[in-house]
Structure 1
Amino acid sequence: MGKTKKVSITGRYGARYGSVNRKRTREVLDRMKPKSLGCPKCRTKGSVHRISIGIWYCRKCDAKFTGGAYSIATARGLESFRVSKRKQREIELIEEEE
Protein backbone atom coordinates (compact mmCIF):
# COMPACT_ATOMS: atom_id res chain seq x y z
CA MET A 1 0.00 0.00 0.00
CA GLY A 2 1.31 3.49 -0.89
CA LYS A 3 2.10 6.26 1.50
CA THR A 4 -0.57 8.83 2.23
CA LYS A 5 0.01 12.53 1.74
CA LYS A 6 0.54 14.72 4.75
CA VAL A 7 -2.63 16.73 5.25
CA SER A 8 -1.90 18.01 8.75
CA ILE A 9 -4.71 19.81 10.54
CA THR A 10 -6.86 20.06 7.40
CA GLY A 11 -7.38 16.30 7.27
CA ARG A 12 -10.67 16.87 9.06
CA TYR A 13 -12.09 18.40 5.86
CA GLY A 14 -11.61 15.20 3.86
CA ALA A 15 -12.19 15.67 0.14
CA ARG A 16 -14.39 18.73 0.62
CA TYR A 17 -13.70 22.41 -0.26
CA GLY A 18 -10.94 21.84 -2.84
CA SER A 19 -7.21 21.31 -2.52
CA VAL A 20 -6.19 24.97 -2.88
CA ASN A 21 -8.53 26.08 -0.11
CA ARG A 22 -7.31 23.32 2.18
CA LYS A 23 -3.65 24.25 1.51
CA ARG A 24 -4.30 27.92 2.28
CA THR A 25 -6.16 26.98 5.44
CA ARG A 26 -3.30 24.69 6.50
CA GLU A 27 -0.75 27.50 6.05
CA VAL A 28 -2.81 29.91 8.16
CA LEU A 29 -3.51 27.39 10.90
CA ASP A 30 0.16 26.33 11.06
CA ARG A 31 1.17 29.97 11.60
CA MET A 32 -1.39 30.32 14.39
CA LYS A 33 -0.23 27.30 16.40
CA PRO A 34 0.32 28.47 19.98
CA LYS A 35 3.73 26.80 20.37
CA SER A 36 5.20 28.84 17.53
CA LEU A 37 3.98 32.19 18.86
CA GLY A 38 6.04 34.12 21.38
CA CYS A 39 4.95 37.15 23.38
CA PRO A 40 6.77 40.34 22.33
CA LYS A 41 6.74 41.61 25.92
CA CYS A 42 7.79 38.61 28.04
CA ARG A 43 9.18 36.42 25.19
CA THR A 44 7.32 33.34 26.44
CA LYS A 45 6.49 30.79 23.74
CA GLY A 46 3.06 29.23 23.71
CA SER A 47 1.28 31.78 25.89
CA VAL A 48 -0.14 34.02 23.15
CA HIS A 49 -3.68 33.53 21.87
CA ARG A 50 -5.88 35.49 19.51
CA ILE A 51 -8.87 37.26 21.05
CA SER A 52 -10.30 38.58 17.79
CA ILE A 53 -9.02 39.62 14.38
CA GLY A 54 -5.73 41.41 14.92
CA ILE A 55 -5.94 41.45 18.75
CA TRP A 56 -3.63 39.12 20.66
CA TYR A 57 -3.35 38.30 24.37
CA CYS A 58 -0.54 36.79 26.46
CA ARG A 59 -1.82 34.62 29.30
CA LYS A 60 1.41 34.84 31.26
CA CYS A 61 2.05 38.59 31.46
CA ASP A 62 -1.54 39.75 30.69
CA ALA A 63 -0.29 41.84 27.76
CA LYS A 64 -2.80 42.71 25.08
CA PHE A 65 -1.44 43.92 21.75
CA THR A 66 -2.33 44.28 18.10
CA GLY A 67 -0.87 42.45 15.16
CA GLY A 68 -1.94 40.73 12.00
CA ALA A 69 -5.13 38.77 11.52
CA TYR A 70 -3.38 35.39 11.54
CA SER A 71 0.07 36.21 12.93
CA ILE A 72 1.40 38.30 15.79
CA ALA A 73 3.39 40.66 13.59
CA THR A 74 3.14 41.62 9.96
CA ALA A 75 6.00 42.68 7.71
CA ARG A 76 4.54 46.18 7.47
CA GLY A 77 4.16 46.40 11.25
CA LEU A 78 7.78 45.38 11.84
CA GLU A 79 8.91 47.99 9.33
CA SER A 80 6.88 50.69 11.08
CA PHE A 81 8.37 49.68 14.43
CA ARG A 82 11.92 49.98 13.06
CA VAL A 83 11.20 53.41 11.56
CA SER A 84 9.63 54.76 14.74
CA LYS A 85 12.52 53.42 16.83
CA ARG A 86 15.05 55.10 14.54
CA LYS A 87 13.14 58.42 14.65
CA GLN A 88 13.05 58.24 18.45
CA ARG A 89 16.84 57.78 18.58
CA GLU A 90 17.32 60.76 16.24
CA ILE A 91 15.12 62.95 18.46
CA GLU A 92 17.08 61.91 21.55
CA LEU A 93 20.39 62.77 19.85
CA ILE A 94 19.08 66.20 18.85
CA GLU A 95 17.91 66.87 22.42
CA GLU A 96 21.32 65.87 23.82
CA GLU A 97 23.13 68.27 21.49
CA GLU A 98 21.01 71.23 22.62
Structure 2
Amino acid sequence: MFSTGPNELMGIIAIDTYRDNLYRSCLYLTIRKSAVAKRTKKVGVTGKYGTRYGASLRKQVKKFEITQHAKYTCTFCGKDAVKRTAVGIWNCKGCKKTLAGGAWTVGTTAAATVRGTVRRLRELTEA
Protein backbone atom coordinates (compact mmCIF):
# COMPACT_ATOMS: atom_id res chain seq x y z
CA MET A 1 0.00 0.00 0.00
CA PHE A 2 2.31 2.72 1.25
CA SER A 3 5.95 2.80 0.43
CA THR A 4 8.22 3.63 3.32
CA GLY A 5 11.38 5.39 2.35
CA PRO A 6 14.51 5.78 4.49
CA ASN A 7 13.41 9.23 5.65
CA GLU A 8 10.08 7.92 6.92
CA LEU A 9 11.84 5.14 8.85
CA MET A 10 14.13 7.70 10.47
CA GLY A 11 11.05 9.66 11.53
CA ILE A 12 9.48 6.58 13.14
CA ILE A 13 12.72 5.76 14.95
CA ALA A 14 13.02 9.37 16.15
CA ILE A 15 9.44 9.29 17.47
CA ASP A 16 10.06 5.97 19.24
CA THR A 17 13.26 7.35 20.79
CA TYR A 18 11.44 10.50 21.88
CA ARG A 19 8.60 8.43 23.36
CA ASP A 20 11.12 6.21 25.17
CA ASN A 21 12.96 9.22 26.63
CA LEU A 22 9.65 10.78 27.64
CA TYR A 23 8.65 7.56 29.39
CA ARG A 24 11.99 7.44 31.21
CA SER A 25 11.67 11.06 32.37
CA CYS A 26 8.09 10.46 33.57
CA LEU A 27 9.24 7.35 35.41
CA TYR A 28 12.08 9.34 36.98
CA LEU A 29 9.66 12.08 38.05
CA THR A 30 7.33 9.48 39.57
CA ILE A 31 10.18 7.95 41.54
CA ARG A 32 11.40 11.38 42.65
CA LYS A 33 7.90 12.43 43.70
CA SER A 34 7.50 9.41 45.95
CA ALA A 35 10.84 10.23 47.58
CA VAL A 36 9.32 13.41 49.07
CA ALA A 37 8.41 13.08 52.75
CA LYS A 38 4.77 12.22 53.39
CA ARG A 39 2.82 14.72 55.48
CA THR A 40 0.56 13.79 58.36
CA LYS A 41 -3.05 12.90 57.66
CA LYS A 42 -4.77 13.71 60.97
CA VAL A 43 -2.31 14.58 63.71
CA GLY A 44 -0.90 17.79 62.21
CA VAL A 45 1.13 19.84 64.67
CA THR A 46 0.97 17.13 67.35
CA GLY A 47 2.85 14.63 65.18
CA LYS A 48 5.93 15.52 67.21
CA TYR A 49 4.48 13.61 70.16
CA GLY A 50 4.27 10.34 68.23
CA THR A 51 2.15 7.69 69.96
CA ARG A 52 2.74 9.12 73.43
CA TYR A 53 0.15 10.64 75.81
CA GLY A 54 -3.00 9.14 74.23
CA ALA A 55 -5.16 10.23 71.31
CA SER A 56 -7.70 12.34 73.19
CA LEU A 57 -5.02 14.37 74.99
CA ARG A 58 -3.18 14.93 71.71
CA LYS A 59 -6.44 16.17 70.13
CA GLN A 60 -6.88 18.71 72.93
CA VAL A 61 -3.28 19.85 72.62
CA LYS A 62 -3.71 20.14 68.85
CA LYS A 63 -6.59 22.58 69.32
CA PHE A 64 -4.54 24.72 71.71
CA GLU A 65 -1.38 24.68 69.61
CA ILE A 66 -3.21 25.63 66.41
CA THR A 67 -4.81 28.65 68.11
CA GLN A 68 -1.51 29.53 69.77
CA HIS A 69 0.54 29.52 66.54
CA ALA A 70 -2.08 31.27 64.38
CA LYS A 71 -1.76 34.88 63.23
CA TYR A 72 -4.43 37.27 64.51
CA THR A 73 -5.74 40.62 63.28
CA CYS A 74 -4.27 43.65 65.01
CA THR A 75 -6.85 45.98 66.58
CA PHE A 76 -4.63 49.00 65.91
CA CYS A 77 -3.44 48.60 62.30
CA GLY A 78 -5.84 45.91 61.02
CA LYS A 79 -3.12 43.62 59.63
CA ASP A 80 -3.00 39.87 60.22
CA ALA A 81 0.37 40.17 61.91
CA VAL A 82 -0.19 39.50 65.62
CA LYS A 83 1.80 36.53 66.89
CA ARG A 84 2.35 35.12 70.35
CA THR A 85 5.68 36.07 71.93
CA ALA A 86 5.21 34.47 75.36
CA VAL A 87 2.30 33.44 77.57
CA GLY A 88 -0.21 36.30 77.41
CA ILE A 89 2.10 38.58 75.39
CA TRP A 90 1.20 39.22 71.75
CA ASN A 91 3.26 41.28 69.32
CA CYS A 92 2.14 42.91 66.05
CA LYS A 93 4.80 42.90 63.35
CA GLY A 94 2.90 45.51 61.31
CA CYS A 95 2.77 48.37 63.81
CA LYS A 96 5.26 47.01 66.39
CA LYS A 97 2.71 47.20 69.22
CA THR A 98 2.73 44.73 72.10
CA LEU A 99 -0.63 43.53 73.41
CA ALA A 100 -1.69 41.72 76.55
CA GLY A 101 -4.08 38.86 75.93
CA GLY A 102 -4.86 35.30 76.75
CA ALA A 103 -2.44 32.42 76.95
CA TRP A 104 -3.69 30.73 73.77
CA THR A 105 -5.58 33.48 71.91
CA VAL A 106 -5.33 37.26 71.76
CA GLY A 107 -8.80 37.82 73.17
CA THR A 108 -10.34 35.99 76.10
CA THR A 109 -14.01 35.45 76.95
CA ALA A 110 -13.58 37.44 80.16
CA ALA A 111 -12.17 40.39 78.21
CA ALA A 112 -15.10 40.24 75.77
CA THR A 113 -17.55 40.25 78.69
CA VAL A 114 -15.85 43.26 80.29
CA ARG A 115 -15.77 45.11 76.96
CA GLY A 116 -19.51 44.51 76.48
CA THR A 117 -20.32 45.61 80.03
CA VAL A 118 -18.27 48.80 79.70
CA ARG A 119 -19.97 49.61 76.38
CA ARG A 120 -23.42 49.03 77.87
CA LEU A 121 -22.66 51.22 80.92
CA ARG A 122 -21.25 53.96 78.68
CA GLU A 123 -24.44 53.95 76.59
CA LEU A 124 -26.56 54.18 79.76
CA THR A 125 -24.63 57.19 81.09
CA GLU A 126 -24.76 58.98 77.73
CA ALA A 127 -28.51 58.46 77.29
Where on the TM-score scale, by shorter chain, does this alignment land: which range?
0.7 to 0.9
Q: Which residue number corresponds to residue 90 of structure 1?
A: 124
1:42 counterpart (55, 77, 84): 77
Number of matched pairs: 88
**Offset at residue 7 of structure 1 (A):** 0.8
Shift of residue 57, structure 1, vs aligned partner: 1.1
Identity %: 32
Which structure's relative contact order is higher, taking Cα pairs within 8 Å and 6+ residues apart? 1
Task: Quote the RMSD (CA, aligned, Å).
Answer: 1.9
Change (3 A) 1:50 1:33: closer
Partner of 1:27: 63
Task: Structure 1: give runs of 5+ residues left out of the alignment.
Answer: none
TM-score (normalizing by structure 1):
0.76
The equivalences for 1:1-98 within 5 A come to 5-35=41-71, 37-45=72-80, 47-91=81-125, 93=126
Structure 1 runs of 4+ with >3 Å offset: none
Aligned-residue offset at 1:11: 1.1
Structure 1 or 2, whichever has the larger Rg, is 2
- Write the letter of the residue equivalent to 1:55: I
Structure with greater helix share of residues: 2
List gaps (5 residues or longer) in structure 2.
1-39
TM-score (ref. length: structure 2): 0.60
